[in-house]
Structure 1
Amino acid sequence: MTETATPTIRNSAKAVVLHTGRVLLQRATWEGQDCFFLPGGGQEPGEDLEATVCREVFDETGVTVRVVRLLWVREYIGANHENAATEADTHRVEMIFECVPVGEPGPLGGHDEDEVQTELEWAELGKVPGLNLLPHALRQPIAELAADGPETGYLGDVA
């Protein structure tokens, strides 16, 4: 008899780092595709989410940021998506914050990059919908930050 894995919920904080009409993205090779991710990562016990996002952005990109506001809450429940067979025990809750650099950002490069990360780049907000930014559900809302801004809040269980 096969045992069913018990999912654990992992909190993480992601950053939409904005500077001069651009957003800071991680370029990556993931599951055989060239794609982009927002910088950020897992919350440590005893760490508040603002501290998490600031630490993770600095570790991965070398950019010191401050949080402006919470934009969205996104869940990913693996059992509900394309890779359910291999991700049935995955459940992430991501808080996505708008951030800005503290001072003028210098050269990009963190000391603790994600293993799939290949480089970092500042992408024009208007070009984000055409990028393979994962999750795809974030592409249009991020691009809308260039204008009046998107609606904020709970995005649901989206891939």
Structure 2
Amino acid sequence: MAEPVTPTIRTSAKAVVVHDGRVLLQRANWGGEDCYFLPGGGQNPGEPLDATARREVHEETGLRVTVEKLLWVREYIGAHHEHADTEAGTHRIEVIFHCTPEGEPGQLGGHAEDIVQTGLEWVELEKVAALNLLPQALRQPISALATNQAPAGYLGDVA
């Protein structure tokens, strides 16, 4: 009988970087599938979450950003989702901030891109719902930012 898995909780900060009605997304290849992700990543011990968002965006995109406000909190508890057999030990808590670029938004190119990252793209907010953006639960809320209809708060344990 297999030993029960004890999940490790990982906290991270993600950024919805908005400029002129567009959001900055990472193009990626995840599991052989082309997709998009928000820039962001894991929190370091002793690092405030807003600082995590600023650091990660700069590393992955080359942009310096101002964190404007908290948008959403999302959890992902692997044991509750499609790949529970392989992700039972996964428990992520993501804090997602609305950010704006401090410099020239066209000057992109990070120095520590994620291994799956294949590029960066400014995408019109209204078009995000139709993209293969992961996690899927963020597609509608990000698109709703175009009309200021995006609810803020806890999104739940969603994939």
Q: TM-score range by the shorter chain?
A: over 0.9
- The corresponding residue for 1:67 is 67
Partner of 1:129, secondary structure, is helix
- Give 3-state SS (helix, strand or coil) of 2:55's partner: helix
Offset at residue 23 of structure 1 (A)? 0.2
Q: How does 1:124-139 map to 2 (within 5 A)?
A: 124-139=124-139
**Is residue 54 from structure 1 mapped to residue 54 from structure 2 by the alignment?**
yes
Instruction: Report if the CA contact (8 A) 2:63-2:103 is conserved.
Output: no
Alpha-carbon shift at residue 103 of structure 1 (Å): 2.6
Per the alignment, in what secondary structure is the counterpart of residue 145 of structure 2? helix
- What is the Cα deviation at residue 86 of structure 1? 0.4
Match of 1:145 in 2: 145
Q: Does the 8 A contact of 1:125 with 1:146 survive in 2? A: yes
Q: Any residues of structure 2 matched to 1:1-80 within 5 Å, and which?
A: 1-80=1-80
**After TM superposition, where is structure 1 displaced by more than 3 Å over at least 4 residues in a row?**
none
SS at match of 2:69: strand
CA RMSD of aligned residues (A): 0.8
| TM-score, with length taken from structure 2 | 0.97
Partners of 1:157 and 1:10 lie apart in 2 by: 14
Distance 2:149 2:14 in 1: 18
Task: Determine if contact 1:62/1:110 at 8 Å carries over to the other structure.
Answer: yes
SS at 1:24 equivalent: strand
Question: Which SS does the other structure have where 1:108 is aligned?
Answer: coil
Query: Deviation digits for residues 92-130 of structure 1, max 9, x if unmatched?
Result: 000000000013224211000000000001001111011
CA distance in 2, matches of 1:130, 1:106: 24
Secondary structure at the counterpart of residue 57 of structure 2: helix
Question: For 1:24 and 1:148, how far apart are their aligned partners in 2?
Answer: 18
- Rounded Cα–Cα distance in structure 2 between residues aligned with 1:5 and 1:88: 7
Tell me, which stretches of 5 or more residues in structure 1 are unaligned? none
Figure out how many residues of one structure are paired with residues of the other and give that number: 159
Identity of aligned residues (%): 70
Letter matched to residue 147 of structure 1: T
Partner amino acid, structure 2, of 1:123? V
TM-score (norm 1): 0.97
Q: Distance in 2 between matches of 1:32 and 1:103?
A: 34
Unaligned 5+ runs, structure 2: none
